[in-house]
Amino acid sequence: MKKYTTALTIAGSDPSGGAGLQADLKTFSALGVYGSSAIVAVVDENTCGVYGVHSIPDDFVAGQIRSVLSDIGADAVKIGMLHNSSLIRTVLSTLRQYPEVRNIVLDPVMVATSGDPLLEVDAIRTLRDELMPYCRIITPNLPEASMLLGMTINHQDQLEDAARQLSALYPDSKVSVMLKAGHLVDDKLTDVFYNAEDDHFLHFTTDRIDTPNTHGTGCTLSSAIAAWLAKGADLDMAVSSGKEYINAAIAAGAEYSIGKGHGPVCHFHNLWH
């Protein structure tokens, strides 16, 4: 019998389908990975904004994770929005019950594309100090990195130092950092990846695409990296391939009109014509 490559997303639900676990599952599928999910919150949102968050009880989230990992397993795990400290600790303690699952990619979601906050203020410290050291790679954008480091990061020249500083918070864990430059105003954007396992940097420079359809880009990139890690890629290849995928998804999604605000990327750009 054939065996699927598998990935688990632990994230909130986006009914508009562009972000959250819906984006993660689409990305897994587009990249040939069988996706499973543990829902941490049902979010009332669309392309224009976030209007409410209905939290799933912590013990029920833990039950979903255990049900998937004890049965199907996961070659990689992507973690998205975790809105409070209790939930963060629940997810961490549950994952620790499965030490064989180590390809953990964390997108430290704090603010939606629309600008709406998604993480309680007191949970930032818990995310930074407790969950992040357990992850193989984190994928913050500039506002998230600024909050995590307690400093303003708003210039391209700061990205290498910021990525290294984030990783240096965990000297015993070798947490790699993919720092995204999308919030800069330059016509060319250079994301910086610090590979903590091999102590080197990769730079990914792309032209800015003029499109409002950027809903779920962070979710999509992190889940693409997780999918490639699940398929056995090393960190450099997983990040490079994930970046290539999200660039193509943004470019293809720019050709579509959906919703009245920030539309989604085109997750199946390599399949739809």
SS3 content of the chain, % helix, strand, coil (to 5): 35, 20, 40
3-class secondary structure, 195: strand
Is 190 marked active-site?
no
Question: Which is catalytic among the residues 6, 219, 253, 263?
Answer: 219
Is 63 marked active-site?
no
Question: Which is catalytic among the residues 18, 35, 80, 216?
Answer: 216
Is 266 marked active-site?
no
Between the CA of residue 137 and those of 55, 83, 114, 252, what are the distances in Å?
A: 26, 19, 25, 27
Q: What is the DSSP string of 26-74?
A: HHHHHTT-EEEEEEEEEEEE-SS-EEEEEEPPHHHHHHHHHHHHHHT--
Is 180 marked active-site?
yes
Is 214 marked active-site?
yes
For 156, phi then psi, to 5°, come to -55, -35
Question: Which is catalytic among the residues 26, 78, 180, 243?
Answer: 180
End-to-end CA distance of the chain: 32
Question: Which is catalytic among the residues 135, 217, 220, 266?
Answer: 217
Question: Which is catalytic among the residues 218, 242, 253, 263?
Answer: 218
- Please say whether the dihedral angle defined by the alpha carbons of residues 26, 109, 240 and 153, taken in this order, is positive or negative: positive
Is 218 marked active-site?
yes
Question: Which is catalytic among the residues 35, 214, 243, 263?
Answer: 214
Enumerate the active-site residues: 180, 214, 216-219
